[in-house]
Amino acid sequence: MSESSFLCLLFFVITVSTINAEDLIDQTCKKCENRSIILNYGLCSTSLQVIPVSHAANLQGLALIAMELALENATTTLSTIEKLMMNTTSLDGDDEELALRACLRDCLELYSDAAWRIMNSIGAFLSENYETTKTWMSSVMEAASTCQEGFAEKGEASPLTKENYNLFQLCGISLCIVHLSTPAIPS
């Protein structure tokens, strides 16, 4: 085989594998959006395609990538919450500032627990403990919703709306892909 033939073949294989990976991401995100009225195809597709290794991943790999993205979101949000809390340090502030601080404190606890649950979900998934993975990822989705609702209940505008939405979506995407990649239990 000549060098030019080899390079053409290599280019073809790389192109086909990239197209297949993008097709897998696209098909997976479409399936997830079709299975749920709450999942956003655009966020799914964009989030997964940005990660270079996702283009060589299978369905299980995409589930892990989505969980790792959720973990990254949770840990980044923890830092954001801590910074926001530093900006509202006054213990004798007005009622609005005290309410904001209480909401941030609740969200800090929720996100700390969420990060722990996502890390353990990844371990459970790798150990093929799919039911535990599904339960924990669902609870992280609830944590994001609870954080957001806490602000609304106190009549406060949430400074974490985008973070809560993204965590909820990334966990929903993870959960959907875990469902899609879980082997069927023989009856």
pLDDT by residue (tens digit) across 122-141? 999 999 999 999 999 999 99
Whether 163 shows a pLDDT value over 90: the answer reads: yes
Q: Calculate the CA dihedral of residues 138, 142, 144, 149 and round it to 10 degrees.
A: 160
Q: How confident is the model at residue 91 (pLDDT cuts 50, 70, 90)?
A: low
Percent of the chain with pLDDT over 90: 73
* Dihedral pair phi/psi, residue 162, rounded to 5°: -65, -45
pTM exceeding the 0.75 threshold for the entire prediction? yes
pLDDT at residue 87, as a whole number: 85
Section 157-183 average pLDDT: 94
**CA 128, CA 126: separation in Å to the nearest integer?**
5
For residue 5, name the pLDDT band (cuts at 50, 70, 90). Answer: very low
Q: How far apart are CA 4 and CA 142, in angstroms?
A: 55
CATH number of the structural domain 3-181: 1.20.140.40
Max Cα–Cα distance, the chain, nearest Å: 79
Query: What six digits make up the tokens of 96?
Result: 């609005």
pLDDT band at 9 (very low <50, low <70, confident <90, very high): very low
What's the whole-number average pLDDT of the chain?
87
Check residue 41 and give its pLDDT. Answer: 93
pLDDT for residue 90: 58
Mean pLDDT to the nearest integer, 146-152? 96
Mean pLDDT of 24-45: 93
* For range 144-166, the mean pLDDT: 95
- Quickly list DSSP for the chain: --HHHHHHHHHHHHHHHHHHHHHHHHHHHHHHHHH-SS--HHHHHHHHHHSGGGGG--HHHHHHHHHHHHHHHHHHHHHHHHHHHHHT--TT--HHHHHHHHHHHHHHHHHHHHHHHHHHHHHHHHTT-HHHHHHHHHHHHHHHHHHHHHHHHTT---TTHHHHHHHHHHHHHHHHHHHHHSPPPP-
Number of CB atoms found within 10 A of residue 80's CB: 17
Confidence grade of residue 21 (pLDDT, cut at 50, 70, 90): low
